[in-house]
């Protein structure tokens, strides 16, 4: 599949990230320049649209394997697993349910805790 190109900088900053190979991907200035494995965004009114649509598409195309969107105001979470720049699987969890990573078995959290 050809690599997508954008006419703007694709610099985004997630709320949390998991980078298993971070030592190999830090430049001389100490900045991480690799592709994280897992990204987590916690929605707020000012970022909800960007996190849900813009970042979802950027992350899907970038080589990230899993993306979590947590919405505290609605009490839910959506977990996307990406494969070959496509959404391979989506799981939706509501308040009180135990969420588990699709790529890191045992990595769990309970929505709204």
Q: Residue 9, class by beta-carbon neighbours within 10 Å (0-12 exposed, 13-18 middle, 19+ buried)?
A: exposed
The whole model's pTM is what? 0.82
CATH topology of domain 36-110: tt1808, chain A (3.90.1570)
Where do the domains of the chain lie?
36-110
Report the helix count and the strand count for the chain, using DSSP H and E.
2, 7
Per-residue pLDDT of the chain (113 residues; tens, 9 = 90+): 455 554 445 567 888 888 877 788 888 988 888 888 999 999 998 888 888 998 999 999 988 999 999 999 899 999 999 999 999 999 999 999 999 999 999 999 998 86
């Amino acid at each position: 599949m050809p690599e997508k190109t954008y006419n703007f900088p694709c610099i985004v900053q997630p709320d949390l990230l998991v980078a298993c190979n971070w030592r190999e991907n830090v430049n001389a200035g100490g900045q991480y320049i690799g592709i994280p494995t897992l990204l987590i965004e916690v929605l707020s009114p000012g970022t909800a649209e960007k996190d849900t649509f813009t970042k979802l598409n950027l992350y899907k195309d970038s080589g990230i394997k899993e993306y979590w969107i947590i919405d505290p105001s609605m009490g839910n979470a959506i977990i996307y697993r990406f494969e070959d720049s496509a959404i391979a699987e989506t799981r939706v969890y509501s308040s009180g349910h135990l969420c588990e990573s699709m790529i890191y078995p045992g990595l769990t959290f309970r929505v709204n805790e």
